[in-house]
């Protein structure tokens, strides 16, 4: 391989990206050295096994990926804003819509959700940490490795270009000869292993680490949604693991799974991909439902309406999510019976989802609603998501789908479910739990400005796409002629995208502004909330709760505040905490080398780093580390400091 | 750390029983993984194009030896866990070591079989059938290989530290893993080899 094949060349925008990557890297290294922060970074963050810090690292990575995926989105909208635009060529456009999808789903939505789960779930169930803290750190570093590997493809070797669903034969070596889809299979594989481990970790945490009295049906709704999502992860991700492995074998080792000759079957990929891919949609949407349930109950000053039906509907959704995958390819000729079956299961999902929508509405009924930023996002979610849901039922009808399939109508539909569903939820959750983690709120005035920009611009961007789809504009078209008449609506959509970008800029500015100027909270419960995570101080001490909480009902904190049911009626006892470890981040690094070497089929580095992975794992197994014990005096001292008392 | 003396050592602390529970869930995920591989195999089994099919390729003798070794090793790992519960370190290590040796024997025969297949013109790229065969068997074989390395490191820790909360827990979890590989092999033996030979 020659150097000009190794680096992506010939595109001014990519040269710009390379230059900015190098500059940012130098800036980070110089900054860390100048402010003498290397030790701090290593001790407090890179080696941490604390669920809150890992959660924060997930969320920071997700925000960076949101920016990267957002730039991709802006480029796409800019390219299609006017007919015959020359901003991007076809290949570059293909790479951008592929990485936009991958990054937004797998490296933005997933880690944002998992980050919030990490921060919130152990607190909501009154635990000291997750069940396996070091495994949790491994999960994070594997996710991060996968994300970096995929982003690197942009400047080294070329990005995947066969769509985020990477259908065969298009994604085969024959039709995608660059290393782009090798990156796809390896980056997703590595981060997918991390996600699977997270799923297992949270199932055990939620089932086995709950505080005394926290029965399953007393758990906060976000914890319920995290449990169900974790179960879906544990059973859906192995399918992705296999699909990606087969893709890698086809592309790198010449096997014949999805080829056009020697018996290969390209539709096998589509089936395997969506057997994972559709549950994946619910993996990112169920925790979002959980976040909305918490926020709506808190800011309506009422308990959640229909708790049991909320749980049952999530369980039903999780089961149905495994039975709908073929609706992604009604038009690929599997016959009327199969299409009919999947049509019915798909429409059936709208029933439990509808139950949830009504439960939220009834939670608000006669409530004392306060319009905070997180509540605004939750309120906007309900009508916008319903549009997404209704168009989803339109798409679910197999015979009608022949009209909409792979048009912009579909693109509009899934953005109408994923953005108000997941993105609004993680932003709402971010504003809601921010004071818990950092001890101060994000500025409400700026937060509301950002909200109105984002909510309105979202509709301006994506509503026109429904009509473009019905007029026949297919997705993934990199340009079109003026005679098609697609121009004006696309231009409106581009204007909306600019508004969305501006909204997100305000949101980021708000983080900076609030760090500098926001008044610091003195009490752990700034929103007058209901669940256990608000019962400890903010910022949260490493051990979460000085005394193990004793839960006597749903909405434990609310009962403590209003019905005089104390949560902390025990004594302070010494607390055992896991100690930090540098091995997870080293494992991530070794996996990075391994993945990168396999992408380019460099066998010797791949074998060496493969052995190195085993060595790091073995050295973890031989570790005889029993953690640290925090004494009663230390706990009392920390608690006093957190309450602002002088020592 | 609270130690519960009423339970076997491997379940002796909360952390230990969490680890065992977590590993059961991991095995659930592994079942999903192997089910997917079996599905792929069943979908592609008759798509052998111009290459050989199962009837032409498989020979029973090697496979029977593999089955015999792996099933016996599942028995010995059971004996190892039993010895551990009785607190007998040396018998435990012998049975554990025997398990790993039989695993190694299994692997040796499997690798020889792979060479025979390749020699007979069935490589991973011959047909969709051979691809799915090699990947299904290879994934199981990779699990066995990983198990041998993992088991050896546990055996070394038992030798050095004796039975502690940690080593007992690891040994027990390893036995679950090993039994699981045996179960997968029974499916491979029945639905790949026996069915292929019919």
**Closest to B34 (Cα-Cα) out of B124, B129, B141:** B141
CATH number at residue A415: 1.20.210.10
Length of chain B: 198
Residue B104 CB-density burial (10 A; 0-12 exposed, 13-18 middle, 19+ buried): middle
User: Residue B194: how many CB atoms within 10 A of its CB?
Assistant: 13
Which secondary-structure segment (H or E) carries A63?
helix A51-80
The verdict on B140 touching A (C-beta cutoff 8 Å) is: no
**Closest to A325 (Cα-Cα) out of A336, A309, A312, A339:** A339
> Quick one: CA dihedral B95, B98, B99, B100, positive or negative?
positive
In a shared domain, residues A10 and A69: no
CB contact under 8 A, B21 and A208: yes
Distance, CA of A436 to CA of A533 (rounded, Å):
8
Tens of pLDDT along A237-262? 999 999 999 999 999 999 999 998 89
In a shared domain, residues A18 and A109: no
**Total beta-carbon pairs less than 8 A apart between chain A and chain B:** 120
Angle formed by the axes of helices A110-124 and A266-300, nearest 10°: 50
Q: What is the mean pLDDT of chain B?
A: 94
Residue A128 CB-density burial (10 A; 0-12 exposed, 13-18 middle, 19+ buried): buried
- A626 to chain B: which residues are within 8 Å by CB? 1
Q: Phi-psi bin for A531: left (phi > 0), alpha (psi -120 to 50), beta?
A: beta
3-state SS, residue A640:
helix
Q: How confident is the model at residue A566 (pLDDT cuts 50, 70, 90)?
A: confident
In a shared domain, residues A28 and A154: no
For A248, the closest chain B residue by CA position comes to B135
Report the residue from B49, B124, B161 with minimal CB separation from A263: B49
Residue A1 has pLDDT above 70, yes or no: no
For B45, the closest chain A residue by CA position comes to A263
List the domain range (segments joined by +) for residue A2.
Answer: 1-36
DSSP string, B92-131: HHHHHHHHHHHHHHHHHHHHHHHHHHHHTT--TTT-HHHH
Report the residue from B128, B149, B166 with minimal CB separation from A265: B128
Q: Phi-psi bin for A50: left (phi > 0), alpha (psi -120 to 50), beta?
A: beta
**Closest to A126 (Cα-Cα) out of A548, A487, A523, A437:** A548
Distance, CA of A346 to CA of A19 (rounded, Å):
47
- Which pLDDT value is given to residue A538? 84
CB contact under 8 A, B124 and A255: yes
What does each C-alpha distance from A630 to A189, A212, A349, A469, A542 come to in angstroms? 38, 21, 48, 61, 10
Q: What is the DSSP letter of A539?
A: S
Q: Are A228 and A157 in contact (CB under 8 A)?
A: no
Tens of pLDDT along A106-146? 999 999 999 999 999 999 999 999 999 999 999 999 999 99
Domains in chain A, number: 2
Averaged over A143-152, what is the pLDDT?
94
A595 within a domain of the structure (yes/no): no
For B17, the closest chain A residue by CA position comes to A208
- A611–chain B nearest CA distance, Å: 12
- Which pLDDT value is given to residue A646? 55
Cis peptide before B36 (omega within 30 of 0): no
CB contact under 8 A, B29 and A245: no
Averaged over A316-341, what is the pLDDT?
93
Report the residue from A236, A253, A576 with minimal CB separation from B124: A253
Q: Where does A302-372 have alpha helices with state H?
A: 307-320, 336-364
Residues with Cβ < 8 Å from A289, sequence gap 6 or more?
A221, A225, A314, A356, A425
Report the residue from B33, B130, B150 with minimal CB separation from A241: B33
For A576, the closest chain B residue by CA position comes to B1
In a shared domain, residues A23 and A161: no
Question: What dotted CATH number matches B29-45+53-197?
Answer: 1.20.120.80
Q: Encode burial over A460-474: b for 16+ CB neighbours within 10 A, e otherwise.
A: bbbbbbbebbeeebe
CB contact under 8 A, B25 and A200: yes
In a shared domain, residues A397 and A409: yes
CB contact under 8 A, B40 and A272: yes
Q: How confident is the model at residue B4 (pLDDT cuts 50, 70, 90)?
A: confident
Q: Are A475 and A410 in contact (CB under 8 A)?
A: yes
Angle formed by the axes of helices A110-124 and A424-438, nearest 10°: 50
Residue A480 has pLDDT above 80, yes or no: yes
- B50: tokens are 């111009």
Phi then psi for residue A628, to 5 deg, are -120, 155
For A230, the closest chain B residue by CA position comes to B25
Averaged over A454-483, what is the pLDDT?
95
A602 within a domain of the structure (yes/no): no
In a shared domain, residues A473 and A398: yes
> Quick one: CA dihedral A325, A331, A333, A338, positive or negative?
positive
Residue A100 has pLDDT above 80, yes or no: yes
DSSP string, A468-517: HHHTTPBTT-----GGG--HHHHHHHHHHHHHHHHHHHHHHHHHHHHHHH
- B140: tokens are 């199981």
Q: Are A115 and A63 in contact (CB under 8 A)?
A: no
In a shared domain, residues A25 and A58: no
The verdict on B125 touching A (C-beta cutoff 8 Å) is: yes
Distance, CA of A535 to CA of A561 (rounded, Å):
10
What does each C-alpha distance from B166 to A229, B11, B154, B170, B180 come to in angstroms? 30, 10, 10, 6, 21
3-state SS, residue A415:
helix
In a shared domain, residues A464 and A430: yes
Cis peptide before A221 (omega within 30 of 0): no
Q: How confident is the model at residue A197 (pLDDT cuts 50, 70, 90)?
A: very high
A597 within a domain of the structure (yes/no): no
In a shared domain, residues A320 and A262: yes
User: How do the domains of chain B map onto residue ranges?
Assistant: 29-45+53-197
pTM: 0.95
Q: Are A374 and A431 in contact (CB under 8 A)?
A: yes
Distance, CA of A262 to CA of A260 (rounded, Å):
7
The verdict on A109 touching B (C-beta cutoff 8 Å) is: no
The verdict on A268 touching B (C-beta cutoff 8 Å) is: yes
- B40 to chain A: which residues are within 8 Å by CB? 242, 246, 257, 268, 272
Distance, CA of B74 to CA of B65 (rounded, Å):
14
Q: What is the DSSP letter of A440?
A: B
CB contact under 8 A, B166 and A624: yes
Report the residue from B25, B47, B153 with minimal CB separation from A265: B47
Q: Compare A552 and A15 and report the one with higher pLDDT.
A: A552
What does each C-alpha distance from A325 to A271, A342, A344 come to in angstroms? 7, 8, 12
Q: Are B180 and B30 in contact (CB under 8 A)?
A: yes
Residue A13 has pLDDT above 80, yes or no: no
Residues in B 55-114 with any Cβ partner in A closer than 8 A:
none
For B37, the closest chain A residue by CA position comes to A242
Report the residue from A256, A614, A622 with minimal CB separation from B131: A256
- B153 to chain A: which residues are within 8 Å by CB? 618, 621-622
- Which pLDDT value is given to residue A642? 80
Distance, CA of A469 to CA of A447 (rounded, Å):
33
A599 within a domain of the structure (yes/no): no
Averaged over A11-37, what is the pLDDT?
83
Q: How confident is the model at residue A522 (pLDDT cuts 50, 70, 90)?
A: confident
Tens of pLDDT along B72-125? 999 999 999 999 999 999 999 999 999 999 999 999 999 999 999 999 989 999
The verdict on B152 touching A (C-beta cutoff 8 Å) is: no
- B59: tokens are 């020979």
- B96: tokens are 């554990």
Beta strands in A514-622 (DSSP E): 575-577
A573 within a domain of the structure (yes/no): yes
Averaged over B153-161, what is the pLDDT?
95
**Closest to A272 (Cα-Cα) out of A329, A231, A227, A196:** A329
- Which pLDDT value is given to residue A539? 87
Here the ipTM equals 0.95
Tens of pLDDT along A396-446? 999 999 999 999 999 999 999 999 999 999 999 999 999 999 999 999 999
Question: CA torsion angle for A384, A388, A389, A390 (degrees, to 10)?
Answer: 100
Residue A48 has pLDDT above 90, yes or no: yes
In a shared domain, residues A30 and A47: no
Q: What is the mean pLDDT of chain A?
A: 93
């Amino acid at each position: 391989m020659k150097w000009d094949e190794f680096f992506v060349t010939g595109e001014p925008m990519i040269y710009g990206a390379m230059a900015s990557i190098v500059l940012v890297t130098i800036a980070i290294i110089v900054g860390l050295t100048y402010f003498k922060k290397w030790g701090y970074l290593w001790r407090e963050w890179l080696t941490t096994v604390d669920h809150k810090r890992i959660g924060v690292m997930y969320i920071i990575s997700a925000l960076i990926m949101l920016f990267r995926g957002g730039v991709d989105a802006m480029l796409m909208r800019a390219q299609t804003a006017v007919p015959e635009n020359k901003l991007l060529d076809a290949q570059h456009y293909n790479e951008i819509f592929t990485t936009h999808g991958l990054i937004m789903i797998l490296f933005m939505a997933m880690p944002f959700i998992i980050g919030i789960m990490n921060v919130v779930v152990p607190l909501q169930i009154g635990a000291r940490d997750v069940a396996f803290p070091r495994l949790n750190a491994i999960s994070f570093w594997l996710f991060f490795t996968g994300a970096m590997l995929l982003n690197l493809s942009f400047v080294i070797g070329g990005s995947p270009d066969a769509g985020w669903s990477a259908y065969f034969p298009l994604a085969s070596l024959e039709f995608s000869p660059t290393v782009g889809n090798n990156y796809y299979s390896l980056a997703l594989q590595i981060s997918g292993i991390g996600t699977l481990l997270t799923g297992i970790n949270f199932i055990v945490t939620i089932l086995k680490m709950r505080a005394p009295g926290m029965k399953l049906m007393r758990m906060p709704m976000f914890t319920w949604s995290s449990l169900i999502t974790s179960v879906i992860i544990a059973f859906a991700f192995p399918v992705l693991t296999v699909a990606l492995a087969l893709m890698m074998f086809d592309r790198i080792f010449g096997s014949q799974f999805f080829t056009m000759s020697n018996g290969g079957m390209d539709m096998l990929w589509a089936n395997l991909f969506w057997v994972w891919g559709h549950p994946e949609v619910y993996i990112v949407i169920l925790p979002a439902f959980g976040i909305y349930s918490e926020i709506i109950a808190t800011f309506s000053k009422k308990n959640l309406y229909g708790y049991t039906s909320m749980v049952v509907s999530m369980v039903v959704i999780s089961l149905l999510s495994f039975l709908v995958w073929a609706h992604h390819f009604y038009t690929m000729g599997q016959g009327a019976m199969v299409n009919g079956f999947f049509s019915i299961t798909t429409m059936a999902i709208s029933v439990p989802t509808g139950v949830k929508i009504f439960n939220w509405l009834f939670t608000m009924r006669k409530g004392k609603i306060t319009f905070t930023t997180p509540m605004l996002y939750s309120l906007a979610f309900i009508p916008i998501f319903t549009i997404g849901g209704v168009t989803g039922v339109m798409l679910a009808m197999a015979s009608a789908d022949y009209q909409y399939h792979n048009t912009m109508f579909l693109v509009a539909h899934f953005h109408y479910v994923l953005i108000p569903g997941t993105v609004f939820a993680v932003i709402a959750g971010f504003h809601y739990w921010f004071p818990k983690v950092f001890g101060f709120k994000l500025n409400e005035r700026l937060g509301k400005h950002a909200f109105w920009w984002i909510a309105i611009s979202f509709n301006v961007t994506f509503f026109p796409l429904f009509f473009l789809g019905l007029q026949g504009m297919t997705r993934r078209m990199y340009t079109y002629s003026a005679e098609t008449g697609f121009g004006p609506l696309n231009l409106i959509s581009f204007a909306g995208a600019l508004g969305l970008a501006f909204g997100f800029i305000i949101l980021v500015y708000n983080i900076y502004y609030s760090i500098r100027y926001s008044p610091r909270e003195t009490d752990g419960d700034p929103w007058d909330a209901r669940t256990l995570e608000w019962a400890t101080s903010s910022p949260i001490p490493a051990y979460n709760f000085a005394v193990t909480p004793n839960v006597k009902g749903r909405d434990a904190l609310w009962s403590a505040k209003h019905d005089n049911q104390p949560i902390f009626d025990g004594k302070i006892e010494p607390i055992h905490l896991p100690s930090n470890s540098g091995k997870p981040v080293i494992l991530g690094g070794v996996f990075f080398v391994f993945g990168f070497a396999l992408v380019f089929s460099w066998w010797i580095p791949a074998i060496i780093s493969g052995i190195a992975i085993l060595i790091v794992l073995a050295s973890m197994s031989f570790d005889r580390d029993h953690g640290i014990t925090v004494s009663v005096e230390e706990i009392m001292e920390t608690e006093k400091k957190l309450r602002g008392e002088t020592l | 750390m609270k130690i519960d003396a009423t339970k076997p050592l491997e379940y002796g602390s909360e952390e230990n029983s969490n680890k065992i529970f977590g590993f059961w869930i991991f095995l659930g995920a592994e079942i999903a993984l192997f089910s997917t591989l079996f599905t792929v195999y069943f979908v592609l089994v008759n798509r052998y194009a111009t290459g050989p099919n199962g009837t032409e390729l498989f020979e029973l003798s090697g496979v029977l030896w593999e089955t015999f070794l792996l099933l016996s090793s599942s028995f010995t790992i059971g004996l190892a866990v039993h010895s551990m519960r009785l607190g007998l370190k040396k018998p435990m290590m012998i049975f554990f070591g025997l398990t790993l040796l039989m695993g190694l024997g299994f692997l040796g025969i499997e690798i020889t079989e792979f060479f025979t297949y390749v020699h007979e013109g069935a490589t991973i790229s011959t047909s969709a059938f051979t691809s799915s065969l090699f990947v299904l068997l290879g994934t199981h074989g990779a699990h066995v290989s990983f198990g041998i390395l993992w088991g050896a490191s546990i055996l070394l820790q038992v030798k050095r530290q004796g039975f502690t909360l940690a080593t007992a827990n690891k040994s027990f979890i390893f036995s679950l893993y090993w039994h699981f590989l045996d179960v997968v092999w029974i499916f491979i033996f029945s639905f790949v080899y026996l069915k292929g030979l019919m």
